[in-house]
Structure 1
Amino acid sequence: MTPAAGGPDADRALVLGVDSGGSGLRAGLAVPSGAPGAGVRGDGVRGPAPVRSAEPVRTGVRGIDAEHFMTQLLPMARELLDRAGGGRIVAVGIGAAGLATLGDDLRARLPAALEQSLGVRRVALAADAVTAYAGALGDRPGAVVAAGTGLIAIGTDLAAWHRADGWGHLLGDCGSGAWIGRAGLEAVMRAHDGRDGGSKALLGRAEDLFGPVAGLPAQLYPRTDRPAVLASFAPHVAACAADDPVARDILCAAARHIAQAAAAVCPAEGDCEVALTGGLFKLGEALTGPLDEELTERLPRAVRVPAAGDPLDGALRIAADIAANRLRLPRDPRMLTVPGEDDS
């Protein structure tokens, strides 16, 4: 692929953002601020609608597979350039789930592959929590809780990153969709057994969803997508919370865990802007009501703000910032690197 696609805007500078997670890749283009046609937002103007891949990037002995990443990304970049009417990609921002612990192959091979294939020399590699932060708060100090099937909190004072949880459904992700779903299903099994702490309301929901619950362990334990299956029960817990005290207690406990994670990563000095992002918060008032109370109690200096954008917005913003040499978010060997610049 040549660095610029043909068309009337073949010389227009563009930035590419990539969000890589468990459901595959999302990629989008933007005209960076300061370039002709850009607007006033910090990350410029979003280009054509983002494109998606259906397959997550593989992992191997070296971690996230850089070759498989590029095999998926290049056709997506071509499609985006065609839709945009041409242009030159001058910077790429990549947010990848697992980068902190599984990113060695990406860090070693992706910058050269992107330069060879797209002619791009400015590349930022970030953990998906960092792009979630950049999408939600930009480059202001504060804290972001990104919650869906899993959960991670990340904060910065613009000098360093501070992380809490994100350890997966066996060791953490406390308060996440998987955590809520697992707690709800434990209450189901207690009700089935006749033990204290059970919920007949949740038992009925589980039987409708999974069939006889005595067979639930055989359905659940062999699956590789256990966190997603557990999280699929979280909306049922939320739906029962208004009338069922067990379900309500589960969501109150989830709210405490979320607030604890946010408090752990808030900058120590001054007011702390806190943004919540991710599908978990679509559970609604059953979760957000007790969460507001917990945040008020644990973080009285916190200022709740809406998330400005999602992780793909964050990847585009980081790409625009490195294109303009204005990246303020702290560099970190595991969380956010700009190869070439960080090595010089």
Structure 2
Amino acid sequence: MTAAAGHRAHPAGAGRRLVLAVDSGGSGLRVALARSGGAGDTAGQDAAADTAPAALGAALTSREPVRTGARGISARHLMEQLLPMARRLLDAGGAERLGAVAVGAAGLATLGDELRQDLPAALERELGVRRVALAADAVTAYTGALGPRAGVVVAAGTGMIAVGTDLGTWRRADGWGHLLGDCGGGAWIGRAGLEAALRALDGRAGGSTALLARAEEVFGPMRDLPAGLYPRSDRAAVLASFAPSVAALAGSDPVAAGILGAAARCIAESAAAVCPAGGAPLLALTGGLFKTGEPLLAPLRTELAALVPHAVPASAAGDPLAGALRIAADLADGRLALPRDDRMLSVVAEKPYPEIDGLKAP
């Protein structure tokens, strides 16, 4: 890559650098700025062993999801949203140059061709940064939760994906979207609850009058729901909005309880598919779905104990934005230990920088 005007290489042992993290998802962008530990800073490296660097001030957000076109996720639309926020953060951070940028993006694994091709050059041109990591949102969720340690992370909100690593390779399970997968996620649970409501409306077996009553409180007459739901571009979010109602009824309605139990099995199966086989890998749960509490967590603990008994439960240390900050800081300091993968985590870094001589080129 061609160096941006005025950009100069930092010598080995240089101090802490500004790093920028981006979390791009279904609700828009979140952007944060932090300082890395600093190459050659042993104390900084020790402090960074288990946590992401602290953000400098509050994260900035946009409310518009990045568009997807014929070439996948639009690099141009992402940059249009990112640049004003990045420059605002950098202005507040002073005159320091950026050491690295990490972008975590939903859909990168399957729709990331344009980002991988166009975004690093655009970031160098506009922000003068030549160290860029592009990560699937599952990778930033993993890194925010566990850091560079072997294990498995389940990220569940509207959708559901499990990602695991032995620090040699990445493995993922599900995350195929609400039409083809995301089994056990919020949209899956909400759709199952609405199906049970419609079964009750029809008088078919497997219906729930409790779920029918609750669905009509939320959506109005159920006979009108398909006409209102199918044309919407946010169908997954609408379906997921009913998941808390299913969870709330699980204590008194056996159909709702059965849906939560089936969701727990789906989630545990995905975790088992990607969990490292040996040792005592860590296992963390992250995402808004788990805020539904014990109606889901109780059967999930049972299923996980049966399918991945060697995994050690761990609390998630941070969210995907924290994971992107961690990746950016480690990249800036030449100690990014996570495995590279064309679809899950690709890295562009200029050479030779003495502190990143050991960095594997993508």
Please indicate the TM-score interval, normalised by the length of the shorter structure: over 0.9
Q: Which amino acid aligns with 1:244?
A: D
Aligned to 1:29: 33
SS state at 1:168 partner: coil
Contact 2:16 2:36 (C-alpha < 8 Å) held by counterparts: no
**Is 1:45 the counterpart of 2:54 in the alignment?**
yes
> Relative to structure 1, is the Cα distance of residues 41 and 235 closer, same or farther in structure 2, using a 3 angstrom cutoff?
same
Counterpart for residue 148 of structure 2: 139
In structure 2, the partner of 1:176 is: 185
Equivalent pairs counted in the alignment come to 338
**C-alpha deviation, 1:2, in angstroms:** 9.0
Residue 308 of structure 1 corresponds to 317
Residue 111 of structure 1 deviates from its aligned partner by 0.9
The answer on 1:16 being equivalent to 2:46 is no
CA–CA distance in 2 between the matches of 1:244 and 1:66?
47
Q: Post-superposition shift, 1:87?
A: 2.7
Q: Secondary structure at the match of 1:171?
A: coil
- Contact 1:188–1:202 (8 Å) recurs in 2: yes
TM-score of the two chains, using structure 1 as the length reference: 0.94
Q: What's 1:159 paired with? A: 168
Decide whether the 8 Å contact of 1:33 with 1:45 is kept in 2.
Answer: no
State the Cα deviation string for residues 61-98 of structure 1 (Å, max 9, x = none).
11111111111111111111233344321100110111
Q: Show the counterpart of 1:79.
A: 88
Q: Aligned residue for 1:334?
A: 343
One-letter code aligned to 1:297: A
CA–CA separation in structure 2 for the residues paired with 1:44 and 1:199: 48
Aligned to 1:241: 250
- Tell me whether 219-228 or 309-318 shows the greater mean CA deviation: 219-228
What per-residue deviation string (whole Å, max 9, x for no partner) do you get for residues 170-191 of structure 1? 1111000000001000110011
CA RMSD of aligned residues (A): 2.0
Q: Report 1:1-344 matches (<5 A).
A: 13-34=17-38, 40-42=47-49, 43-340=52-349, 343=361
Pick which of 278-287 and 72-81 moved more: 72-81
2:129 partner SS: coil
- SS of alignment partner, residue 18 of structure 2: strand
Secondary structure of the corresponding residue to residue 140 of structure 1: coil
Where structure 1 has 5 or more consecutive residues not aligned to the other structure, the ranges are 5-10
Q: What amino acid sits opposite 1:40 in the alignment?
A: A
Letter in 2 for 1:88: R
Counterpart CA distance in 1 for 2:38 and 2:117 is: 31
Output the CA distance in 2 between the equivalents of 1:251 and 1:83. 46
Q: Which amino acid aligns with 1:218?
A: A
Q: 1:122 to 1:186 in 2, by over 3 A?
A: same
Question: TM-score normalized by structure 2?
Answer: 0.89
In structure 2, what is the Cα distance between the partners aligned to 1:150 and 1:194? 30
